[in-house]
Amino acid sequence: MPILTSTNLKREIALILKKQGYLIKPNGLFILRNNDRETKRRAHDLAKAERIANQENFILEKSALAKLFLVDGKNLKVEKIEPKIIEVKPGTQYWDLFRWWNLIWWSLPYERAYGRQMRFIIWDKYHNAPIGLIGLQSPILSWSVRDSYLGIPPKTRDFWVNQSLSAQRIGALPPYNYILGGKLVALLMTADVIRKKFQNKYINQKTLLKKRKLPARLLFITTTGAYGKSSVYTRLKFKDNEVVKFIGYTQGSGTFHIPNALYEDLIDYLEKKGCDVRRGYGSGPSRKLRLIDQALQSLGFMSGATHGIQRAIYLFPLVKNLEDVIKTNKRPMWVHRTVCELTDFWKTRWSIPRTGRDKKYLEFSGEAFIRRTLRDLQYYKRICQII
């Protein structure tokens, strides 16, 4: 292994960035070679491979459990789908299933959650199978697009932001994804049961940093589209009411393009330069972002945190008068939606018409899917060898 010098480290960073599809310009700016969706997806392969390789034993161990609750497309009766929102608790099979799917299914790699966390599996009671996942966590405290859109004043930002959550995961699993199950999962995220579970969980809890009690109200949920605007949220309505609002784009910054192994090398480099590299409790993802940016700029890159993939930002209001609540402290007028009525609307509006036009879901085989997943483990292990 070469001695860790600034030259060696810069060469290592450049190699890994190029493997992910980046071009490095003479001024130290790195940008993706192409701006298409596939290039953006491939740029995340290394980060996903690292997460999967670290969890290989778990994935292998729980594949039989995942297979047990997979329904073949030919056995899927769309009109009989009956969702139930299950909050995932440690030590249960739902916990293992959530973790397994969270690792292997999405092209956007799983990132460690911070702060408040709530995880849900949307379970089909009729077919005894998972329809999709909802993973919620504490949102970014300062987010100019969201704060400007809602008119959140800087002085009271933490008060309002702590009455919201960020959806790190929203999506349908196979074969439900073939019949626009993603729209069902997104709709169900706004069901009364979600915000009531939030209230029950946090009603007497204090915030981690300021140790104060805030109203246990879930006023809104934010999320982002992985590679730009998402077809799942486009024209997503319940009856005549808009469920989600597109409010802008992220700046294209983050940390996924720096693998964890390389991140530790950057920390060593900064520490030897005498920089403060303290991490741990209360630091959150923004601390990692700043340290990566500091290290790469010190090594001659224009920026370390700008990966160039802008994500569309979406807001799910759970009250009808959200802006009035924030600007003038009006009493919330809650949106009331039940799982049953949301499901019936989804079937009529999206899933049943889709199955009439597209029969691809019938080809899905749970057994074949598990075999492909296990083969993919070897692919991701090979990718990790470039680190």
Q: Is residue 206 part of a domain?
A: yes
Residue 171 one-letter amino acid: G
pLDDT digits (tens, 9 = 90+) for 99-149: 999 999 998 887 777 789 999 999 999 999 999 999 999 998 889 999 999
Range of the domain at 340: 34-252+308-384
CB 42 within 8 A of CB 288: no
pTM for this predicted structure = 0.91
Q: Is 119 inside any structural domain? A: yes
What is the spatial distance between Cα 250 and Cα 242, in angstroms, rounded to a whole number?
22
* pLDDT 10s digits, 297-356: 999 998 888 888 889 999 999 999 999 999 999 999 999 999 999 999 999 999 999 999
In order, the DSSP letters of 317-380 are ESBTTHHHHHHH-PPP-B----HHHHHHHHIIIIIHHHHHH--GGGG--HHHHHHHHHHHHHHH
CA distance 36 to 45: 15
Work out the percent of the chain whose per-residue pLDDT is above 90. 65
pLDDT of residue 280: 55
Categorise residue 180: left if φ over 0, alpha if ψ from -120 to 50, beta otherwise: left
Is 259 part of a structural domain of the chain?
no
Beta carbons of 243 and 190 less than 8 angstroms apart = yes
Predicted confidence (pLDDT) per residue in 342-371, tens digit? 999 999 999 999 999 999 999 999 999 999
Closest Cα to residue 56, out of 108, 104, 113? 104
The verdict on residue 142 lying in a domain is yes
Question: Would 166 be classed as within a structural domain?
Answer: yes
Q: How far is Cα 59 from Cα 41, in angstroms, rounded to an integer? A: 22
pLDDT the model gives residue 1: 44
Total structural domains in the chain? 1
Domain annotation covers residue 18: no
Type of residue at 10: K
- Please give the DSSP secondary-structure letter assigned to residue 110: P
3-state secondary structure of 30: strand
Q: Is residue 362 part of a domain?
A: yes
- Which among 283, 285, 317, 314 has a CA at the least distance from the CA of 164? 317
Spatial distance between the Cα atoms of 238 and 376, rounded to a whole number of angstroms: 38
Largest separation between any pair of C-alpha atoms in the chain: 64
Q: What is the mean pLDDT of residues 156-178?
A: 95
The answer to whether residue 248 is domain-embedded is: yes
Q: For residue range 61-105, what is the model confidence (pLDDT) as tens digits?
A: 999 999 999 999 999 999 999 999 999 999 999 999 999 999 999
Q: What is the pLDDT of residues 210-252, one digit of tens each?
A: 666 789 999 999 999 988 889 999 889 999 899 999 999 988 7
Tell me the pLDDT of the chain averaged across its residues.
Answer: 91
